[in-house]
A = this chain, B = another copy of it.
Amino acid sequence: MGDDAARPMTRRRRRRRSGAGGRRRRTRYHHGNLRRALLDAALALIERAGADALTLRGAAKRVGVSQAAPYRHFRNKEALLAAVAEEGFRAMAEAMGRQAAPHRDDPAGRLRALGLAYVEFATRHPAHFRVMFGRVPADRAAHPGLQKAAKEAYGLLAGAIRDCQAAGVVRSRDPEELALCAWSAVHGLSALVVDGQLGERARQLEPLARAVTDNVVRGLAV
Contacts and interface: CB of A to CB of B under 8 A. Distances in A.
Contacts of A150: 197
B188 A183 contact: yes
Interface stretch (A2-10, A25-33, A64-72, A209-217): A209-217
A186 to B, nearest CB: 7
Interface in A163-190: 176-178, 180-181, 183-190
Contacts of A187: 188, 191-192
Given A185-B188, A216-B219, A211 B180 contact: yes
A34 B220 CA distance: 51
A201 B180 contact: yes
A220 B215 CA distance: 7
Interface residues on A, range: 35 or more
A191 B52 contact: no
B184 A189 contact: yes
B138 A50 contact: yes
A199 interface: yes
Contacts of A183: 188, 192
19 contacts: A133-B191, A134-B195, A138-B196, A150-B197, A177-B207, A177-B211, A180-B189, A180-B212, A181-B185, A181-B212, A183-B192, A184-B189, A185-B188, A187-B188, A187-B192, A188-B191, A216-B219, A219-B219, A219-B220
Interface of A: 50-52, 130, 133-135, 138, 140, 150, 176-178, 180-181, 183-192, 195-199, 201, 207-208, 211-212, 214-220
Given A184-B189, A185-B185, 5 more contacts: A133-B191, A134-B195, A138-B196, A178-B211, A186-B188
